Amino acid sequence: MRRRFLTTLLSASLLGACTPEPPPEPAVAGAPLAQPPVLQDLNPADGIVEVELVAAPDRLSLVPGTETDVYVYNGTFPGPTIEVQEGDSVVVRLRNDLPESTTIHWHGLHLPYHADGSPYDPVEAGEDYTYAFTIPEGTAGTYWYHPHPKDRTTWQLGKGLFGAFIVRDPDDPIPAEIPERLLIVSDNRFEEDGTLSFPEPGSREEAIDEQNGREGDVLFVNGQVMPRLELRPGDVQRWRILNASGARVLRLSLPGHTFLHVGSDGGLFEVPVEREEILLANTERVEVLVRGEGEAGTEVVLEDLPYDRYRPLYRPAGWDATRDVLTVQYAAGPPVEAPTIPARLREVAPTPYDEDTPVRIFRLSQGRINGQLMDMNRIDARARLGDTEIWEVRNLVGMDHPFHLHGFRFQVISRNGRPVPFLSWKDTVNVPARETVRFVVRYTDYPGKWMFHCHIVDHEDIGMMGVLEVEGPVP
C-alpha cells in the first residue's frame, strides 16, 4: 500500500548530496541519468561568479543511430548548469558563434533591463556580450536560460539552446544529505535521418504549430531518452524539474508514489504540499522530494499523463496517450532511513495590496494580447518604480496560455475569483482555457522596458507579446 509522505516519520541520514557528473553521452534508452556539467567559475574571489558561454552550431547524437545539426552552449545538450548563491555578483560573457543574432534571457531572475536578454539587446553573429547582475537575497530556486531573439525563439530553443540556472541558499532548510537531481525535460521531433523537423513556411504543419506550439514526439531528460535513475528503498531524493519544452505541458506521475511538492518557479514554499501528480506548463519549474516506496530490484516509470491544453479542432494525434519519461530503478540492499523534513521551510511574505491597488486587465486571444500583435516601438503598459499592481489575465480562447512577465516575480492571488490556497513566488502562470488568473506584482529596483508574453514560443514569435515600461527612480 502507498505510504503517505507527510505522515511518514523521516529520520537518520543518507548518502551525501549529489556531485556534478560529466556531460551526458549520446542518448541511449536505459542509460543512467547524467547531470549536466556545472559551468566553471573563472573568478576565485568569494561572492563573484564569472563564467563564459559560447553559442555555436554543432552536430550531436540526440536519438540513437543518427546525428543531428544543433545549436548548443559550450558544446553540450542541454547547456551547462550555472550555480550561484544568493548575494553573488554574476558576470556571464557570451560569445555568439551562431550564423544569426541571439540573446540569453535569464528566465525568472530579477536583474537590470540590459541584462535581461530581451529582443531589445540582440547579440549579432560573431559578437560578444557581457551580462552582469547581482542575485537578490531570498531568491534561491531553480531558474533557466534560453534565447529570446525577435521572432526566432522557437527555432533557437528547438535547436537546443537552453540550460539550468540554480540559485542556492547557504541556509537551505532541505537537509544537505538528501541527494539532489536536476531533471531538464524537453521534447523534439525528427526526420528519419535525425534532422530536426521544422515545418515548411505556409504548410499545414506550420499552421498547426502556430496554433498549438511546436511539440515533439521524443521526450528527453537532460538530453537523454528514457534514462534510468537509481533510488534506494526508503531513500529520499530532491528533484529539481524544469520543463524546457517550447509548448508541451507535463502532467507527471510516479505510480505507487506521491510527490512532496516543496517549491516552484521562485523557490521553496512555506509548507510542503503532498501531491499525487505534478502539472508543469512549459517554462515552469518545481522542486519535489521523492521517497523510495518500492522494493529492491523493482522498477517504476515516471509518466507524462495526458493533458488537454488544445483547442478541439487542433488536438494533435496521440495527445491523449501516456508517455514514459524515465525509469526509477530500485537498488539492491536493505531500506534506508531518511532525514527529517522541516514542517515549515521558509517565510513567503505576501506582497501588500488593497482595494485601491490598480488593476491591469490583459485579454489573451489566439496570437494576440488585448487584440494587438507585438510592436517593439509601442509601449503597452506604463508603471513607476516602486508601484504595486494587480494583473488580471483573462484567457478568452479554448486552449491554455502560460503567461510570463520579465524582470519581476509575482504572487498569484486568485483563479476564477477564488483565492489560491497558499502564496508562492512565480514568474510564469498557466492560464487554462477561458479562465482568469490574478497576480500581484511590485516593481522594485530596475526601470526599463520589460516583455510580457505567452510562453508557447510559437505564440511569442508570431506576436503574442507586449511591453511594460517601468519608469524611475521613485520621486
Identify the pLDDT of residue 26: 44
- Specify whether 393 is located in the same domain as 434: yes
Q: Is 324 inside a domain boundary?
A: yes
DSSP state of 88: -
Q: 330 or 6, which is more confident?
A: 330
pLDDT(475) > 50: no
Q: Are residues 389 and 439 in the same domain?
A: yes
Residues 291 and 248 in one domain: yes
Beta bridge partners of 449: 469
Among 168, 199, 220, the domain-final residue is 168
DSSP assignments along 1-23, one per residue = -PPPSTTS---S--SPPP-PPPP
Whether 23 is in a domain gets the answer no
Q: How many CB atoms lie within 10 A of CB 415?
A: 15
Q: What is the dihedral of CA 250, 211, 99, 186, to 10 degrees?
A: 10
For the record, the C-alpha cell of 171 comes out as: 541556509
Q: In this predicted model, what pLDDT tens digit does every residue of 152-207 receive, in sequence order? A: 999 999 999 999 999 999 999 999 999 999 999 999 999 999 999 999 999 999 99
335 lies in a domain?
Answer: no
In a domain, 124, yes or no: yes
Percentage with pLDDT > 90 across the chain: 90
Tell whether 242 and 287 lie within a shared domain.
Answer: yes
Residues 163 and 195 in one domain: no
Question: How many Cβ atoms are within 10 Å of 124's Cβ, its own excluded?
Answer: 11
Residue 388 lies in a domain: yes
Grid cell locating 102: 541571439
Same-domain status, 198 and 301: yes
89 and 184 belong to one structural domain: no
Identify the band that residue 29 occupies on the pLDDT scale cut at 50, 70 and 90.
low
Asked whether residue 336 is domain-assigned, the answer is no
Domain boundary among 107, 142, 168: 168
d(CA 298, CA 397): 44
Give the pTM: 0.93
Q: 350: which DSSP letter?
A: P
Q: Which domain holds residue 226?
A: 180-330
3-state SS, one letter per residue, for 59-72: EECCCCCCCEEEEE
Q: Average per-residue pLDDT in the chain?
A: 93
Burial letters for 83-94: b for 16+ Cβ neighbours within 10 Å, e otherwise?
bbbbebebbbeb
In a domain, 340, yes or no: no
Final residue of a structural domain among 286, 312, 330: 330
Please indicate, yes or no, whether residues 281 and 233 belong to a single structural domain of this protein.
Answer: yes
Encode pLDDT of 299-358 as tens digits: 999 999 999 999 999 999 899 999 999 999 999 888 888 788 999 999 999 999 999 999
The owner of cell 543511430 is 65
Q: Are residues 184 and 308 in the same domain?
A: yes
DSSP-derived 3-state class of residue 413? strand
Give the pLDDT confidence score for residue 336 in this predicted structure.
Answer: 84
Using DSSP, state whether 212 is helix, strand or coil: helix
Looking at the structure, tell me whether residues 67 and 88 fall in a common domain: yes
CATH number of the domain that residue 248 is part of: 2.60.40.420
Give a yes or no: residue 240 inside a domain.
yes
Q: Which tens digits make up the pLDDT trace of 70-105?
A: 999 999 999 999 999 999 999 999 999 999 999 999
Q: How many Cβ atoms from other residues are within 10 Å of residue 4's Cβ? A: 11
The reply to whether 163 and 192 lie within a common domain is no
Query: 149 with 289, same domain?
Result: no
How many domains in the chain?
Answer: 3
pLDDT tens digits, one per residue of 269-294: 999 999 999 999 999 999 999 999 99
